[in-house]
Structure 1
Amino acid sequence: MSSSTLPRRSLILGAGLVLTAPQLALAQGAKPRVTMKTAQGTIVIELEDQKAPLTSANFLRYVDAKAYDGGQFFRAARSDWAPTEGTIVAQPPATARPFPPIRHESTTLTGLSHTHGTISLGRFAPGTATNTFFICLGDQSFLDARPDQPGDNLGYAAFGKVVSGLPTAQKILAQPTGGETKFADQKDQWLKTPVIIETLRRV
């Protein structure tokens, strides 16, 4: 996923605990949150499990399997026009076996957009996404689906937003790049020293 070159294109009640109806509705309606501890700081993300249920469930499946522990942010694609904006891309460690790919949840279906702080699922062709994700710094609406455009115009599957720790995400974006990559269109975007994800857990 490149912000500059690609087309527009996942109720536990305690024993004996009784909740009133309004309290129960609130508990059921709360959006799931995850806390990601990295070598650069902590990021808290809230998932849009009602608007993007398939993608949110897929992400939580990896979280619950602790698949992201020891993973890394390996890429920082800074915008040419605004170096403090762009995307940071992360993946589990190479030893983590991916679950089967999921169906693509386009932003035209979810109503979400790649605004500042959005978390989204990386992919190649639609329907190939597994466990690589990215966080947007600054509005990146060109990553939304654009049905009026030719080619692969389905965009990426946004599924949540950073609610705490954006300065940590900014620090990751600012890390030195120029690391080795086999993708020509990602030259000077891979981090020289990847930022390790220590843990990623539900809140």
Structure 2
Amino acid sequence: MLKVIVALLLGLQAGPTPVPTPAPTPPVTVRVALDTAEGRIVLELDKTHAPITTANFLKYVDQKRLDGIGFYRTAKGGPAFGFVQFGVQNAPKRVLPPIKHEPTTQTGIKHLSGTISVARYAPGTASGDFTIMVGDQPALDANPAAPGDNLGYAAFGHVVDGMDVITRILDAPTSATAGEGVMKGQMIVPPILIRTARRLP
């Protein structure tokens, strides 16, 4: 009897058995292959954390609106640093309605090297043009401490295969005169064709 009481007292002193913290649920993702004139790029998109932006991109893919368009812009900030841009460029027969903005402070998806993001003007104007980072670019993330429009851009996935293709596109030749505003001198001539964009199993 005494042994039982001692065991109970020791158990009380040790406190309750800690409950293990469950591992976070992995996000639901979908992969898309862009088959370009420079090679294949495979993207993994995050449907869990960026559902609106991912669904928008998948509409362009599933409706074949990206077939036959091109990578048309390379913004170089230094050696192996910058981003490349592709999309429908507001072509009336290809562009879909704009979507609600999903800032990085909401999604947790940062603009790291290989991240895909959607281009925009004001928040809520993003539609069918997309950028892929070469090098980490935190300046494109939302920053509540910054003045003005501080919501950044909506990142929604990353490259899992084909960064060598992205790097070649970043180094593609550009026109010195094409483009307007900040895009002048950044337009790829000729654009690098995306033959097809398809979901992968």
Q: TM-score range by the shorter chain?
A: 0.7 to 0.9
2:109 pairs with 107, 112, 126, which one? Answer: 112
CA distance in 1, matches of 2:114, 2:154: 14
Residue aligning to 1:187: 184
Residue aligning to 1:69: 67
Partner amino acid for 2:88? P
Superposed displacement of residue 151, structure 1: 1.0
Count of aligned pairs: 175
Contact 1:102 1:128 in 2 (8 A): yes
CA distance in 1, matches of 2:75, 2:129: 15
CA distance in 2, matches of 1:71, 1:165: 18
CA RMSD of aligned residues (A): 1.8
Superposed displacement of residue 181, structure 1: 3.3
CA distance in 2, matches of 1:105, 1:187: 28
1:79-109 per-residue CA deviation (whole Å, 9 max, x = no partner) reads 0xx2211000001373633221100000000
Residue aligning to 2:79: 83
SS of equivalent to 2:80: strand
Contact 1:115 1:139 in 2 (8 A): yes
Query: Does residue 1:32 correspond to 2:30, yes or no?
Result: yes
Contact 2:83 2:134 in 1 (8 A): yes
1:22-46 per-residue CA deviation (whole Å, 9 max, x = no partner) reads xxxx9x9651000000011100000
Contact 1:118 1:160 in 2 (8 A): yes
Query: Does residue 1:147 correspond to 2:144, yes or no?
Result: yes
Residue aligning to 1:47: 45
Alignment of 1:151-166 (within 5 A): 151-166=148-163
Contact 2:85 2:129 in 1 (8 A): yes
Structure 1: state its 5+ residue gaps: 1-25
Contact 1:88 1:172 in 2 (8 A): yes
TM score, norm. by length of structure 2: 0.83
CA distance in 2, matches of 1:187, 1:46: 31
Identity of matched residues, %: 47
Structure 2: state its 5+ residue gaps: 1-24
Greater Cα radius of gyration, structure 1 or 2: 2
1:133-159 per-residue CA deviation (whole Å, 9 max, x = no partner) reads 010001011000011001111100000
Superposed displacement of residue 179, structure 1: 5.3
Deviates more, 1:138-147 or 1:178-187: 178-187
Contact 1:69 1:92 in 2 (8 A): no
Contact 2:179 2:185 in 1 (8 A): no
1:124 pairs with 106, 121, 124, which one? Answer: 121
Contact 2:76 2:82 in 1 (8 A): yes
Partner amino acid for 2:148? G
